[in-house]
Structures are given as C-alpha cells and as structure tokens.
Amino acid sequence: MDKQELKKYKEKLLKIKDMVQGDIKQLEQDSFSKTQKEAAGDLSSHTLHMADMASDSYERDFAFDLVSNEQELMYKISEALKRIDEDKFGKCLDCGKKISKARLNSIPYAGLCVSCQQKQEKKEGKK
Ligand SMILES: [Zn+2]
C-alpha cells in the first residue's frame, strides 16, 4: 500500500477516534445529567432524549461494525494506527493476505480479512 493511501486511512481512523472519544464523553455526561434529572423527578424529558440518541446512532457515516462497545472500538482503532506506523496495515493478522480495499474503506480498523473474520465469528458462536 502506498504512503498516500496509508495517510488517507490514518486520517479516517483519527477522525473516527475523535468521534468515539466525543461519544464516550457525551455518554458520561448523559448518565450524569440523567441521574440529576431523575433525582428531580423529570422523567419525561429523559425518555425524549433517549429517542434522540437512538436515531443519532443510526445516522453514523462509518460502519459501527465488529465491535460490541465503544471501548472495544477505541482499542481496535489504536491497534490499526499502530499497524500503520509499523507498516503492517492492510494485511490480515491471521493469514497475512491483503485485506480488500472495499473492506478497509468501510471498516478501516479491520484487522482480519473477510474469510478469517467469518472463521473467528463461527468460533465465537456469533451468527
Ligand atoms: Zn485472513
């Protein structure tokens, strides 16, 4: 993979990282203000806000895939950034084959090619 492309993926990963960091902060703030509101007995606005948050998460412009929570996503992103620095980015961690660009474009933090990913999911009993 050439440097130009690596740079593109790096920028993408950093952007996602920023978003996720913002999200984590937001969630922390929300759970804090939720407690305050519940203490004040204001349950109706809380319900409305949860609906807002749900629709928000569907409007993401990146694939929130392969992970079950944001901490895990943060981990995957930093691992991918490390792979860029070590010049290992874009290769499957398992079989060493190239990960397709289409896959990297939608999931830039993917560490496995599609077939290894499927194998792993079977092993983990997903799907
Ligand atoms: Zn593989």
Q: Are 56 and 49 in contact (CB under 8 A)?
A: no
Q: What is the pLDDT of residue 66?
A: 54
Q: Is the pLDDT of residue 105 over 50?
A: yes
How far is residue 43's CA from residue 48's CA, in Å, rounded to a whole number? 9
Bridge partner list, 98: 91
* pLDDT tens-digit series, residues 1-27: 889 999 999 999 999 999 998 888 887
Is the full-model pTM beyond 0.95?
no
CA of 53 to the centre of ligand 1 (A): 35
Q: What is the pLDDT of residue 44?
A: 53
Note the residue count of the chain.
Answer: 127
Neighbours of ion ligand 1 (CB under 5 A): 92, 94-95, 113, 116
DSSP letter at 86 equals: T
* pLDDT tens-digit series, residues 32-88: 787 777 777 665 554 555 545 544 444 444 445 556 688 889 999 999 999 999 999
CA of 127 to the centre of ligand 1 (A): 19
How far is residue 5's CA from residue 39's CA, in Å, rounded to a whole number? 51
Q: Are 12 and 108 in contact (CB under 8 A)?
A: yes
CA of 109 to the centre of ligand 1 (A): 14
